Amino acid sequence: MIRIPAKVLIVDDEKDFVEMFSLRLSEGGEKVFTAHSGQECLEKLKQENIDVVVLDIKMPGMDGVETLKEIKKKYPIVEVILLTGHGAIETAVEGMKLGAYDYLLKPADAGEMTKKLEGARKRKDAQEERIRKAEQKSLLRRGGNI
Ligand SMILES: [Mg+2]
């Protein structure tokens, strides 16, 4: 089966981190977009049909949790993986209660990130499939076929 690359958006105020991971994930076959702030993240989501956002929690201005809330409000199906430091796991937990798929501890490992991206992607695909089926059913009902 041909694997369609996931569209991943990496958001972090640390430019080196964004560069390194965007390179790694591109090499792994994903289609990678980048942003360096919450605002920029929301702009990119408007322009591109993103599957998964890898989102840093600690950013100046609009932080990761605020950005997550906006993402889930506007694009509930987009999956979010949070990036956090060892001292702030409780913030990641809060984020997961707000709808984030999972979190990664910094300094994140590319292998671990790939694994979590895969899981997030699968969850999004499965949800989209359920929505498609429900839509088909509702169309059939409307057509009076059932
Ligand atoms: Mg940061």
- Residue 86 has a pLDDT of 79
Q: What does the DSSP 8-state code read for residue 3?
A: P
Average pLDDT in the 110-127 region? 93
CA angle, residues 83, 76, 92, in degrees to nearest 5: 25
- Residue 136 has a pLDDT of 92
Residue 87 domain flag: yes
Q: Mean pLDDT, the chain, as a whole number?
A: 92
- DSSP, collapsed to helix, strand or coil, labels residue 144 as coil
Task: Give the Å distance between the CA of 77 and the centre of ligand 1.
Answer: 24
Residue 2 domain flag: no
Task: Give the Å distance between the CA of 80 and the centre of ligand 1.
Answer: 16
Task: Give the Å distance between the CA of 57 and the centre of ligand 1.
Answer: 7
> What percent of the chain has pLDDT above 70?
96
Residue 51 domain flag: yes
Per-residue buried b or exposed e for 70-86, using 16+ beta carbons within 10 Å of the residue's own CB: ebbeebeebbbbbbbee
Residue 110 domain flag: yes
Q: What does the DSSP 8-state code read for residue 4?
A: P
Task: Give the Å distance between the CA of 28 and the centre of ligand 1.
Answer: 24
Average pLDDT in the 67-86 region? 95
Q: Fill in the amino acid letter for 5.
A: P
Task: Give the Å distance between the CA of 82 and the centre of ligand 1.
Answer: 11
Residue 1 domain flag: no
Task: Count up the domains in the chain and report the number.
Answer: 1
Task: Give the Å distance between the CA of 144 and the centre of ligand 1.
Answer: 54
Residue span of the structural domain in which 126 resides: 7-143
Q: The CATH number of the domain where 128 resides is what?
A: 3.40.50.2300
CB distance 32 to 26 below 8 Å = yes
